């Protein structure tokens, strides 16, 4: 029920803050989404959408963090304690 899907804003429409909408692209499927809760978002921003409403902006820098953190996690252990014997890589 709390499913929310990330999509990219293609265009914004409307003046009334409660009814402002965006055309949002979800990997090729475009839907009209209510933007009332994210007044500051602009075209090209990625937003998380739930039941027709954008509820949060996806932060590009933060999105990379996990993959960067992972690289630093990995280093010290590569050679010695990999119980898979390297099969995984």
Asked if 36 interacts with another protein (CB under 8 A), we say yes
| Minimum CB distance to another protein, residue 1 (Å) | 5
Q: In 3-state terms, what secondary structure has residue 1?
A: coil
Interface with another protein (CB under 8 A), residue total 41
Block residue for tokens 């803050």: 17
Interface pick for another protein out of 30, 42, 65, 68 (rule CB under 8 A): 65
Separation of alpha carbons 49 and 40, rounded Å: 15
Closest residue by Cα to residue 40 from 66, 17, 19, 71 = 17
Separation of alpha carbons 24 and 4, rounded Å: 13
In the range 2-31, which residues lie near another protein by CB under 8 A? 2-6, 8, 18, 26-27
Residues that bind another protein (CB under 8 A): 1-6, 8, 18, 26-27, 34, 36-39, 46, 48, 50-53, 55-60, 62-63, 65-67, 70, 73-74, 77, 81-84, 88
């Amino acid at each position: 029920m709390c499913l929310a899907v990330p999509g990219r804003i293609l265009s914004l429409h409307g003046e009334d803050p409660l009814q402002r909408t965006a055309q949002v692209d979800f990997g090729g499927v475009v839907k009209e989404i209510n933007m009332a809760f994210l007044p500051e978002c602009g075209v090209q921003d990625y937003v998380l959408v739930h039941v027709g409403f954008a509820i949060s902006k996806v932060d590009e820098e933060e999105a990379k963090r996990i993959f960067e953190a992972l690289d630093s996690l990995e280093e010290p252990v590569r050679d010695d304690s990999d119980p898979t014997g390297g099969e995984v890589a």
